[in-house]
Structure 1
């Protein structure tokens, strides 16, 4: 496993992309509308991304923003074999949000581990 990205919930991805783009010298690498949200990936020098999550209307990110406010939503780790990563998590008695891989942004397969089992951190596994 290796670091892939940190997901940041925001109500204004454009403004945050401008801010982080300037602060971190991080250009927009990818942008799309996906699963009820606008997703913007900023490429970090040395590897990895900031993923900015802006809700279109309703959905899980809108609910998160209403409940928690803007900020870090999840940490994503790249894996070579997502089903094996999920099996390894189950072997460690980690509760899973996704029992099976599902489509994620940028065409990747993803699955999430429940933060109640991972020290309060929502962990995403990403298979490129």
Structure 2
């Protein structure tokens, strides 16, 4: 496993992507509207920043209202998401997603509950 991306909740993904492009030379490599969000992936060379802007009510809109902009989750890439979820179950880690589901960019994803992962919402992502 390795870090795939950090998900960042924002009120304006285009503005933040432009800022990160100017500051860090990051390029936008993928954009889509998915699950009530504008999602923008910026290439960091060895992973991505995933900018999440709500376009309707939902998880990211709720997160922004409660917490403001910032890191929403950390994603770990896996070649076998089913095995990764089983390992989490064996360690009594609460799952947000009992089964993998479709995620942005056509990936398969599943989230682990932050109450059992040091306060961090962790995502498994299988490309």
Is the shorter-chain TM-score for this pair beyond 0.5, marking a shared fold?
yes
Gaps of 5+ in 2: none
Task: Give distance in 2, aligned partners of 1:94 and 1:103.
Answer: 21
Q: 2:25 aligns to what?
A: 25
| Segments of 4+ moved more than 6 angstroms | none
Q: 1:2 aligns to what?
A: 2
Q: 2:39 aligns to what?
A: 39
- The alpha carbon displacement at 1:15 in A equals 0.6
- The alpha carbon displacement at 1:9 in A equals 0.1
User: How is 1:113-124 mapped onto 2 (pairs within 5 angstroms)?
Assistant: 113-124=112-123
User: May I ask how many residue pairs the two structures share in their alignment?
Assistant: 127
Partner-residue secondary structure (3-state), 1:98: coil
- The alpha carbon displacement at 1:23 in A equals 1.5
Compute the TM-score of the two structures, normalised by the length of structure 1.
Answer: 0.98
Q: Give me the CA root mean square deviation.
A: 0.5
Gaps of 5+ in 1: none
- The alpha carbon displacement at 1:101 in A equals 0.1
| 1:111 counterpart = 2:110 | yes
Task: Give distance in 1, aligned partners of 2:74 and 2:3.
Answer: 8
Compute the TM-score of the two structures, normalised by the length of structure 2.
Answer: 0.99
Task: Give distance in 2, aligned partners of 1:41 and 1:120.
Answer: 24
Partner-residue secondary structure (3-state), 2:8: strand
Task: Give distance in 1, aligned partners of 2:118 and 2:23.
Answer: 29
- The alpha carbon displacement at 1:22 in A equals 1.5
- The alpha carbon displacement at 1:24 in A equals 1.6
